[in-house]
Structure 1
Amino acid sequence: MPDLAAMNASPTWWVLGESAAGELSAVPLTRSGEAGPVVPLSPAALAEFVAEREAAESPRWVWSDTPHWYPRLLEAGVRIARCHDLRLCHAILALSERVADPVPLRTALEWDAGPTIPVAAARPEATLFDFGVPAAGPDSVPHSLTAALAEFARQRAAEATRRDLGLLLAAESAGALIAIEMATAGVPWDVAEHDRLLAAELGPRPAPGVKPQAMLTVGEEVRAALGDATANLDSPPKLIRALRTAGVDVASTSQWELMEHEHPVIAPLLRYKKLARLLTANGWAWLDEWVHEGRYRPVYVPGGVVTGRWASSGGGALQLPRQLRPAVRADPGWRLVSADVAQLEPRVLAAYAGDRALAAAARGADLYTGIVETGAVATREEAKFAMLGAMYGATTGEAGRLAPRLRRAYPAAMGMLDRAASTGEQGGKVATKLGRTSPPPSPEWAAEQSKASMPGATLADEARARRTARDLGRFTRNFIVQGTAAEWALAWLAGLRSRLWELPLVTDGPHAAASGRVFSRRAHLVFFLHDEVIVHAPAEQAEAVATAIRAAADDAGQLLFPGAPVDFPLDLRITERSDAK
């Protein structure tokens, strides 16, 4: 049994601060909140000081934001076990409905990272609403020791009586460490293979400012089908006009709208758009900018989506196309150990709702096949379509037709989704398992609802209000599932990170020198995408890493849903390159 008195007397946290002039300082805090003497630090002494304290006490480091502090430590060869990211935790607590008195946090405006920026809604089988990265970056957050201490006190008071919030803050902060570590180590990348893949799709690398040959060829096919030799294929407004002239009545050039039409121009135009997207997002310019010394180092943004999912503010890690996966290749003598979770969001729904029937359908098997075997629907395709429609709020078409069957078969899970949707339609907020809360509706939304209920409201006003209410209901319906799945994934990542660090250093054999001082001789995370991880590991440790990945997934399930009869099976592979099976 631990000595509680000794734990309370020794530093539990070290709070770091930085003045506007760049002067650093640190102060220890005990569990009771007692502060020790302030320790002034020079920038050159920071890494050594943190390394000494880490070895002696293994505290939790409290700092304004991980991207500001952690890279300089890793560059000096210092890895820490735990941190508390004040900026990320502030964003959670200031909105959480589980905080008894959020006013002190909400009035500490200097800790707001800026509003999230909404982008267009996606199709139901993708994500419902994504929100962009914070409008203001970490540099907008104060770094002074006084400010950090005051904010930490507010946050401790806010989550003091809520174990679920404490778990969420720890997981979010661990994710911040992992994001910086993955950017530091980088994804092992085969530049020659990437160039070969581009050449196979686009043709040889062209001169600057010149389109690749494949795009030129397909572009001529598009213009021929349009009957317009001068059509501008890279300007959506001009392309829409050319399409309409050719008899294709579209409002946009999105793939989904184009596919609804039958015309000789559709196939080559979709091919052209695919090539253009590859060139723009991951072409030779991308390769020159983002891959150096055999490593691809994107910039991750933990919590960049309001549901808690990660975003990316550089490098496009979250949109890495499958066709480029062969370029992800382990160093000689190393392996890639990759895993993704089967049907993560429906499993999370079953666990969060306590729906034993849905959990039983998923247990140890393909969830959609399990739904078919219960007789709820006839085919696996129907099961997948119905479940995704239920989670993303599809109420018409095939998904709408199948919804009553799911409600009869899985009343607890479907009831939770329906209640979340109803809450959103009325302008309310919903929360994930650990307490991340959906943002309130915008003032514009509230004004539309109010206008529709006023004397003199038109039928158009009422229709608009109903539509926007349903839209918000679709968002809250999905928020509880996507957000809780993000929490499970964070717990998985955090547990895996700890387990990997327990594996021994590689003393013999090749090192992964390009991964940097901290990771060149040990297995380390290099990639994460919602429900997928990739670990770069010495070949002799690959099986141990696979075991760690499975164990961390089991731990995450028990941490979030203790005792729930829901498993999270993994598709796990040990390969030399990412696309190998």
Structure 2
Amino acid sequence: MCACSPVGPTGDNGPVYVIAGAAENGWDVLRCTESGAVLDARTVPGLVAAVTGIERAEHPRWVFGGEEYASLLEAGVRVRRCHDLALVESILLSFEGRYGEPATLAAAYARLAGLPVPEEQARTRRPSAQPVLFETEPDPLPGGVSPARACAEVLADQLRRIEGSAWAPRLRMLVAAESAGALAAAEMQANGLPYRADVHAELLTGLFGPRPANGARPKVLADLATEVSEAFGGKPVNPEHPGSVQRAFARAGIDLPSTKAAVLREIEHPAVAPLLRYKELSRLYAAHGWFWLDEWVREGRFCPEFVVGGVVSGRWASRGGAALQLPKLLRTCVRADPGRRLVVADAAQLEPRVLAALSEDSRLAELATAGDMYESLAEDAFAGQRHDAKIAMLSAMYGGTAGHAAALLAVLRKRFPEAIGYVERAARHGEHGRSVRSVLGRTSPPPAALMGEAGLDSLRAARDWGRFTRNFVVQSSASDWALTVLATLRLDLLDELPDAELVFFVHDEIIVHCRARDAPRCAELVERAAEQARRLVFGRTKVRFPLPANVVDCYADAK
């Protein structure tokens, strides 16, 4: 494991301010030490003026007690740094082996005060869809404490727990990057992804015909459904109902184990082609049809709600809008405003490079200095067969052994024993029900958290969980790097190109919307952030993490 820098652009020390709504229609402001101890407290009448003045003078870390950051963004105010109590609490609870306990401010304060811990309330998307940093507590805080005081006490407790850990330098980096991600997510939702509703509507009309009445099938889908039925002799078949499709094939003498596309492609029958086309188009229509356009695109912007750390590996998720699964077909709708450009950056072969850096396998690290790691791996170990090299590496990281994969993996094991040993040790930890950690300390859940109370009650379940932990160490460490890139880039843009907007982030891809004249410098900042994140997260590794930035007018042109 590499030695990580304890501080950096995402986690430097400095003053801390807690701000939360007060009972008298003002805002409580607490100035705290770096360890969370309260130095002084005051109540201010105006949120925007207070934050603007303090931010300009001190660039502190902020701890907000509710939806204050949403109001600040509406007023055009952005802050550089924060400490997100809920995200940090979730990271620390998992690190301490208490996965699944509520991580809200109310729950964290209740545990600290020895009070009954309230259940975490399910969230619903608010009609205004405004970005939030922290959710307002649904009920008064336990013990009647004020939100600002509760924030300060939970903050101090979290900082103590971090500093008391042998992983303190890495955890500091992780919670700083995660908190920076909360700021970026709120800003991205407020900015919105530039989106041409007219282009989307034109695509839908070309694919489906005129917009149908509510509840009706589009004409093209209706015609395909008719084709499917006619292929079975005219007896009605519902293409959306697996049982109806299987019964139709059974009447034709074909036993269909499922209606998955891969299964259908192996069948010779005149219904297959229209059925596959129906399935493809119906998925697009259900997920991104006219109703999606009405719901999610406003005034030229697609404004989804990003969920920082929404996946156990640290990857983001989204609530509504399927923001992280935007089909390639619809990327042509993402277009820069006049006078602006999109800077689109996508990391190349991120997870294999992360494995090389994590394992400190010198031979694999040398290959990971190349622009195309799979190409260099193929030349070194697989007689130039890039496809074999890719399958072998994916099998190593995901535990695949089917078909030719086992033989390819054996080649990797022989030539790169440190790298393969690293993921295989992680797999054994999982098979025995133990947790593993990312390079910065994000911790995998115990088996029962995702598999139910039965947990590892069979050899198969143990092996399945071993595959999970095998990949967790790589995927979560990749998330550590990507989030550090985002956090570093966000600060660089604030400093140099404050008019540039972060508008999209998914796993290993970033989009910035900026003025055309700023695009070349923005691209340089993206690539510089990738290099800074490499040093911060992985220390002195020789592994390269290319993040080439393309300047385009349309998202589809970056692919």
User: What TM-score does the superposition give when structure 1 sets the normalisation length?
Assistant: 0.83
Aligned counterpart, 2:95: 96
Please state if 1:531 is matched with 2:508.
Answer: yes
Question: How far apart are residue 395 of structure 1 and its match?
Answer: 2.1
Q: Which runs of 5+ in 2 are unaligned?
A: 1-12, 124-133
Aligned counterpart, 1:470: 463
Please state if 1:145 is matched with 2:159.
Answer: no
* Residue pair 2:35, 2:159 contacting (<8 A) in 1 also: no
Alpha-carbon distance between aligned partners in 2 of 1:548 and 1:165, rounded to the nearest angstrom: 25
* Partner deviation per Cα, 1:316-374 (whole Å, 9 max, x = no partner): 11010000001000000111110101101111111111112112112132111111110
Aligned counterpart, 2:160: 157
* Partner deviation per Cα, 1:303-323 (whole Å, 9 max, x = no partner): 000000000111111010000
Alpha-carbon distance between aligned partners in 2 of 1:361 and 1:113, rounded to the nearest angstrom: 46
Question: How far apart are residue 571 of structure 1 and its match?
Answer: 3.7
Aligned counterpart, 1:503: 496
Question: How far apart are residue 167 of structure 1 and its match?
Answer: 0.3
Aligned counterpart, 1:51: 52
Alpha-carbon distance between aligned partners in 2 of 1:28 and 1:477, rounded to the nearest angstrom: 43
Alpha-carbon distance between aligned partners in 2 of 1:495 and 1:391, rounded to the nearest angstrom: 27
Alpha-carbon distance between aligned partners in 2 of 1:229 and 1:41, rounded to the nearest angstrom: 73
Question: How far apart are residue 204 of structure 1 and its match?
Answer: 2.4
Given the superposition, is the C-alpha separation of residues 293 and 485 from structure 1 closer, same or farther in structure 2, using an over 3 Å criterion? same
Given the superposition, is the C-alpha separation of residues 110 and 59 from structure 1 closer, same or farther in structure 2, using an over 3 Å criterion? farther
* Partner deviation per Cα, 1:77-113 (whole Å, 9 max, x = no partner): 11000000000000000111599xx999694685885
Matches within 5 A, 1:293-442: 293-376=299-382, 378-442=384-448
* Residue pair 1:90, 1:112 contacting (<8 A) in 2 also: no
Alpha-carbon distance between aligned partners in 2 of 1:151 and 1:78, rounded to the nearest angstrom: 26
Alpha-carbon distance between aligned partners in 2 of 1:276 and 1:21, rounded to the nearest angstrom: 53
Amino acid at match of 1:14: Y
Given the superposition, is the C-alpha separation of residues 111 and 401 from structure 1 closer, same or farther in structure 2, using an over 3 Å criterion? farther
* Residue pair 1:64, 1:87 contacting (<8 A) in 2 also: no
Aligned counterpart, 2:223: 217
Given the superposition, is the C-alpha separation of residues 226 and 438 from structure 1 closer, same or farther in structure 2, using an over 3 Å criterion? farther
* Residue pair 1:64, 1:85 contacting (<8 A) in 2 also: no
Matches within 5 A, 1:160-179: 160-161=163-164, 162-179=168-185
Aligned counterpart, 1:547: 524
Alpha-carbon distance between aligned partners in 1 of 2:14 and 2:378, rounded to the nearest angstrom: 55
SS in 1 for 2:381: coil
* Partner deviation per Cα, 1:444-493 (whole Å, 9 max, x = no partner): 9696578x6xxxxxxxxxxxx01111111111111111101111110010
Amino acid at match of 1:343: Q
Given the superposition, is the C-alpha separation of residues 191 and 33 from structure 1 closer, same or farther in structure 2, using an over 3 Å criterion? closer
Alpha-carbon distance between aligned partners in 1 of 2:61 and 2:277, rounded to the nearest angstrom: 51
Question: How far apart are residue 178 of structure 1 and its match?
Answer: 0.6
Aligned counterpart, 2:63: 62
Alpha-carbon distance between aligned partners in 2 of 1:272 and 1:477, rounded to the nearest angstrom: 37
Given the superposition, is the C-alpha separation of residues 307 and 114 from structure 1 closer, same or farther in structure 2, using an over 3 Å criterion? farther
* Residue pair 1:64, 1:86 contacting (<8 A) in 2 also: no
Matches within 5 A, 1:177-216: 177-216=183-222
Alpha-carbon distance between aligned partners in 2 of 1:60 and 1:138, rounded to the nearest angstrom: 20
Aligned counterpart, 1:254: 260
Aligned counterpart, 1:514: none
Question: How far apart are residue 57 of structure 1 and its match?
Answer: 1.0
Alpha-carbon distance between aligned partners in 2 of 1:367 and 1:278, rounded to the nearest angstrom: 34
Q: Which stretch of structure 1 is more off in the superposition, 75-84 or 436-445?
A: 436-445
Question: How far apart are residue 277 of structure 1 and its match?
Answer: 1.0
Matches within 5 A, 1:559-574: 559-574=536-551
Amino acid at match of 1:88: L
* Partner deviation per Cα, 1:370-422 (whole Å, 9 max, x = no partner): 11110245511111111112111112222222111111121111111101111
Q: Which stretch of structure 1 is more off in the superposition, 466-475 or 213-222?
A: 213-222
Alpha-carbon distance between aligned partners in 2 of 1:400 and 1:139, rounded to the nearest angstrom: 51
What number of residue pairs does the alignment pair up?
A: 518
Given the superposition, is the C-alpha separation of residues 290 and 445 from structure 1 closer, same or farther in structure 2, using an over 3 Å criterion? closer
* Partner deviation per Cα, 1:531-576 (whole Å, 9 max, x = no partner): 1111111010110001001000101111111110111113421111
Given the superposition, is the C-alpha separation of residues 69 and 371 from structure 1 closer, same or farther in structure 2, using an over 3 Å criterion? same
Alpha-carbon distance between aligned partners in 2 of 1:138 and 1:354, rounded to the nearest angstrom: 44
* Residue pair 2:313, 2:476 contacting (<8 A) in 1 also: yes
Amino acid at match of 1:59: P
Aligned CA RMSD, in angstroms, stands at 2.8
Aligned counterpart, 1:84: 83
SS in 2 for 1:395: coil
User: What TM-score does the superposition give when structure 2 sets the normalisation length?
Assistant: 0.86
Q: Which stretch of structure 1 is more off in the superposition, 536-545 or 393-402?
A: 393-402
Aligned counterpart, 2:9: none
Amino acid at match of 2:77: V
Alpha-carbon distance between aligned partners in 2 of 1:377 and 1:248, rounded to the nearest angstrom: 42
Alpha-carbon distance between aligned partners in 1 of 2:181 and 2:21, rounded to the nearest angstrom: 23
The one of 229, 235, 244 equivalent to 1:238 is 244
